[in-house]
C-alpha cells in the first residue's frame, strides 16, 4: 500500500510522492522559547518525530528541520519583566526544550535553525518582496500586501472579504489593509534590534519560518507541519510571502495536528490547568506520555487527564510485560533460535498490519492496536510449546524494529535495581512471610501475583525468598 497523507491544502488524503526521488524536506514549526514547553506542544513534537522515523523506516532520506523561534514579542516581554537580556530567556528555554525532547525520546532533527542566526536571509527576503511590490514600508515597519497575492486564504479556506470586515476593530492605521501582516517590525527604544534599510527592528514571526525552511530545505518543501492553530495566520502568511517571492509552491503537503485539552477544557494559564512537560516528567515515565499520544490519531482532538494517563500506562505495561516474556523465553531457551518459515510469515503478517495503518495517514492508533494483539498472543502462549518460538521471535523483531525504532517506545527489562527498590522489596517479602506464617494465604498470594503483574518474580529457597525481574 502506498503512503497516504491528509493534506490540509487540498482537504483530502493524497498519495505521498516526494518532489525529488526519495528525498524528503520536512519542516516543522518549532517552539517559541519564552517558557517551558507544555503538554500541548509535546503533541507535534512527538507525532512528527514518529512520522519522520516512519518515513526513514520506509527508506526515504529525510531532511528534518525543526526551528527555534528565539526572537519574538513574548520573549522580549518576559526578558523585560525579569530585567535580563532576551538572549538569557531564549537560551534557558531552548535548553529546556532540548532536554524535554530528549527525555520524550524525540530524535534530534537534522538541523535546528535559530531565527537570530538567520536575520540576513530575512532582510534579503523582505527586500525582495518590496522590490516585487508585494510589501511596503511605513515608519520603519514593513508589511506584506495581501491584495498582491491572489492565493491568499487557500490553506485555511477563509474568505478574505469576510475576514476583512471582521478585522476592522483595532486596525493598525498604518496598514493598507487590516489583514496585511508585518514582515519587519521597527524597534521601540530599549528593544533588541538589528540594522535594516528601514531602521533598527526585528523580523516578524512568519518570515522567520519561510527563510529557515528555504535555507535548510528548499523553495518547495515536501512537508510543512505544525499544530492546527498555525494554519491561520502563520502558515497562510508563510505561503503568501514565500510564493510571492519565489513563484513556486511553498510546500507540497501540509500536515496539522489536532489540539490537546485538559479534562475537556482548553489549557490556559488563566484557568490554572497549564501543564508543562518538565512538571509532568517528574510524575510520569516519558514513554507513557509518548504512548498516550500514539493511542490517538494525530488529527483528532486529544484530552489529557489522570484517567487517560493511567490507561496509557496500563497499555505500555501490557506491551512491556509481553516483551519481558519474550526475553524470558528466549533467554531460557538452550539454543539460539534460528529463523524458520513460520516465523518469517508471522513477521510479514505483523508488519503488514502496522504498515497499512501507518500508510493510512499515519494512523498510529490503529498501529498500536496491532501491538496489543501481538502482546495478547504472547501472553497466552505456552512457552514450552516448540512452535511458540516462531511467534515469539517474530514478535521480538516487530517490537525491536517498528516498536522501538519507529514509535520510539522502550520495552526493555533493564529496570534499575537501586538501594530503594531493594529496601522496599525486602519489606514486601517480610510482609508476605508474616502472612504465610499466619496462614493468611490470600494476602501471600496477592503479594506474589501483584508483583508478577509488574514483572517481578519471587523465588522461595530454604534460606528465604529472593526476587528478580522476569
Residues lying near ligand AMP in the complex (CB under 6 A) are found at: 29, 31-32, 40-41, 43-44, 226-227, 229-230, 257, 259-260, 267
- Smallest gap, in angstroms, from Cβ of residue 348 to ligand AMP? 36
Applying CB under 5 A, the site for Zn ion has a residue count of 2
Beta-carbon contacts of 424 under 8 Å, excluding residues fewer than 6 positions away, are: none
The answer to the question of residue 209 lying near Zn ion (CB under 5 A) is yes
Binding partner selected for residue 370 from Zn ion, ligand AMP, none, CB under the kind-specific 5 to 8 Å limit: none
Cα(297)–Cα(315) distance, rounded to whole angstroms? 16
- Smallest gap, in angstroms, from Cβ of residue 134 to Zn ion? 19
The answer to the question of residue 240 lying near Zn ion (CB under 5 A) is no
Q: Quote the DSSP letter at residue 269.
A: T
- Smallest gap, in angstroms, from Cβ of residue 82 to ligand AMP? 19
Sign of CA dihedral 424, 425, 431, 434: negative
Of the pair 121, 226, the CB lying nearest ligand AMP is at 226
Of the pair 230, 357, the CB lying nearest ligand AMP is at 230
Q: Quote the DSSP letter at residue 9.
A: T
Rounded to 10 degrees, the C-alpha dihedral 416/419/424/426 comes to 110
- Smallest gap, in angstroms, from Cβ of residue 29 to ligand AMP? 5
Of the pair 230, 381, the CB lying nearest ligand AMP is at 230
Cα(360)–Cα(13) distance, rounded to whole angstroms? 8
- Give per-residue burial for 273-297: e unless 16+ CB within 10 Å, then b: ebbbbeebbeeeebbbbbbbbbbbb
Binding partner selected for residue 41 from Zn ion, ligand AMP, none, CB under the kind-specific 5 to 8 Å limit: ligand AMP
Of the pair 25, 94, the CB lying nearest ligand AMP is at 94
The answer to the question of residue 45 lying near Zn ion (CB under 5 A) is no
Neighbours of 369 (CB within 10 A): 14
- Smallest gap, in angstroms, from Cβ of residue 259 to ligand AMP? 4
Binding partner selected for residue 209 from ligand AMP, Zn ion, none, CB under the kind-specific 5 to 8 Å limit: Zn ion
Binding partner selected for residue 79 from Zn ion, ligand AMP, none, CB under the kind-specific 5 to 8 Å limit: none
Cα(159)–Cα(145) distance, rounded to whole angstroms? 16
Binding partner selected for residue 229 from Zn ion, ligand AMP, none, CB under the kind-specific 5 to 8 Å limit: ligand AMP
- Beta carbons of 167 and 179 less than 8 angstroms apart: yes
210: cell is 519561510
- Smallest gap, in angstroms, from Cβ of residue 144 to Zn ion? 15
Q: Of the ranges 119-127, 171-179, 204-212, 300-308, which one interacts with Zn ion (CB under 5 A)?
A: 204-212
Binding partner selected for residue 259 from ligand AMP, Zn ion, none, CB under the kind-specific 5 to 8 Å limit: ligand AMP
- Smallest gap, in angstroms, from Cβ of residue 260 to ligand AMP? 4
- Smallest gap, in angstroms, from Cβ of residue 29 to Zn ion? 3
Cα(140)–Cα(191) distance, rounded to whole angstroms? 14
Cα(302)–Cα(422) distance, rounded to whole angstroms? 38
35: cell is 517558557
Q: Of the ranges 52-60, 75-83, 113-121, 208-216, which one interacts with Zn ion (CB under 5 A)?
A: 208-216
Cα(340)–Cα(330) distance, rounded to whole angstroms? 15
Interface mask toward Zn ion for 155-194; x: CB under 5 A: ----------------------------------------
- Smallest gap, in angstroms, from Cβ of residue 281 to ligand AMP? 17
- When binding is defined by CB under 5 A, the residue of 29, 183, 207, 358 that contacts Zn ion is 29
Alpha helix stretches (DSSP H) within 169-222: 205-216
| Half-sphere exposure for 256 (CA within 13 Å, toward CB) | 21
The answer to the question of residue 28 lying near Zn ion (CB under 5 A) is no
Neighbours of 174 (CB within 10 A): 12
Binding partner selected for residue 467 from ligand AMP, Zn ion, none, CB under the kind-specific 5 to 8 Å limit: none
The answer to the question of residue 295 lying near Zn ion (CB under 5 A) is no
- Beta carbons of 43 and 298 less than 8 angstroms apart: yes
DSSP letters, 59-107, are: T-EEEEEE-BB--SHHHHHHHHHHTS-HHHHHHHHHHHHHHHHHHTTPP
Q: Which residues bind Zn ion (CB under 5 A)?
A: 29, 209
Amino acid at each position: 500500500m502506498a503512503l497516504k497523507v491528509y493534506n490540509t491544502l487540498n482537504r483530502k488524503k493524497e498519495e505521498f510522492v516526494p518532489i525529488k526521488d526519495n528525498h524528503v524536506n520536512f519542516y516543522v514549526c518549532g517552539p517559541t522559547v519564552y517558557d517551558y514547553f507544555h503538554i500541548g506542544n509535546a503533541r507535534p513534537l512527538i507525532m512528527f518525530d514518529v512520522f519522520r522515523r516512519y518515513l526513514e523506516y520506509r527508506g526515504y532520506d529525510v531532511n528534518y528541520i525543526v526551528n527555534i523561534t528565539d526572537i519574538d514579542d513574548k520573549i522580549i516581554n518576559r526578558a523585560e519583566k525579569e530585567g535580563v537580556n532576551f538572549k538569557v530567556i531564549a537560551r534557558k528555554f531552548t535548553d529546556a526544550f532540548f532536554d524535554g525532547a530528549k527525555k520524550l525520546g524525540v530524535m534530534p532533527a537534522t538541523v535546528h535553525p535559530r531565527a537570530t542566526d538567520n536575520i540576513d536571509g530575512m532582510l534579503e527576503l523582505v527586500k525582495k518582496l518590496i522590490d516585487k511590490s508585494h510589501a511596503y514600508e511605513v515608519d520603519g515597519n514593513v508589511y506584506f500586501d495581501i491584495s498582491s497575492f491572489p492565493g491568499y486564504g487557500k490553506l485555511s479556506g477563509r474568505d478574505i472579504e469576510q475576514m476583512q470586515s471582521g478585522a476592522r476593530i483595532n486596525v493598525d492605521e498604518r496598514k493598507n489593509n487590516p489583514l496585511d501582516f508585518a514582515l519587519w517590525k521597527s524597534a521601540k527604544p530599549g528593544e533588541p534590534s538589528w540594522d535594516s534599510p528601514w531602521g533598527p527592528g526585528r523580523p516578524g514571526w512568519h518570515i522567520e519560518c519561510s527563510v529557515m525552511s528555504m535555507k535548510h530545505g528548499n523553495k518547495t518543501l515536501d512537508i510543512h507541519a505544525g499544530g492546527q492553530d498555525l494554519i491561520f495566520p502563520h502558515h497562510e502568511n508563510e505561503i503568501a510571502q514565500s510564493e510571492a517571492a519565489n513563484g513556486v509552491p511553498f510546500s507540497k503537503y501540509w500536515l496539522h495536528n489536532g489540539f490537546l485539552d485538559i479534562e475537556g477544557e482548553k489549557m490556559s494559564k488563566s484557568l490554572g490547568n497549564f501543564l508543562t512537560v518538565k512538571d509532568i516528567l517528574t510524575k510520569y515515565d516519558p514513554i507513557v506520555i509518548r504512548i498516550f499520544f500514539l493511542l490517538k490519531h494525530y488529527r483528532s482532538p486529544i484530552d489529557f487527564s489522570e484517567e487517560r494517563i493511567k490507561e496509557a500506562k496500563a497499555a505500555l505495561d501490557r506491551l512491556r510485560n509481553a516483551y519481558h516474556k519474550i526475553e524470558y523465553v528466549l533467554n531460557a531457551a538452550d539454543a539460539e533460535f534460528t529463523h524458520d518459515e513460520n516465523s518469517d510469515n508471522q513477521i510479514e503478517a505483523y508488519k503488514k498490519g502496522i504498515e497499512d495503518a501507518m500508510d493510512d495517514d499515519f494512523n498510529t492508533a490503529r498501529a498500536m492496536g496491532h501491538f496489543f494483539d501481538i502482546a495478547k498472543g504472547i501472553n497466552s502462549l505456552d512457552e514450552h510449546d516448540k512452535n511458540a518460538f516462531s511467534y515469539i521471535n517474530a514478535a521480538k523483531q516487530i517490537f525491536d524494529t517498528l516498536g522501538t525504532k519507529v514509535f520510539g517506545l522502550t520495552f526493555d527489562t533493564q529496570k534499575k535495581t537501586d538501594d530503594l527498590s531493594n529496601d522496599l522489596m525486602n519489606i514486601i517479602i517480610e510482609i508476605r512471610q508474616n502472612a504465610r506464617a499466619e496462614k493468611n494465604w490470600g494476602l501471600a498470594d496477592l503479594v506474589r501475583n501483584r508483583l508478577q503483574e509488574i514483572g517481578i518474580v519471587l523465588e522461595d529457597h530454604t534460606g528465604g525468598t529472593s526476587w528478580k525481574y522476569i
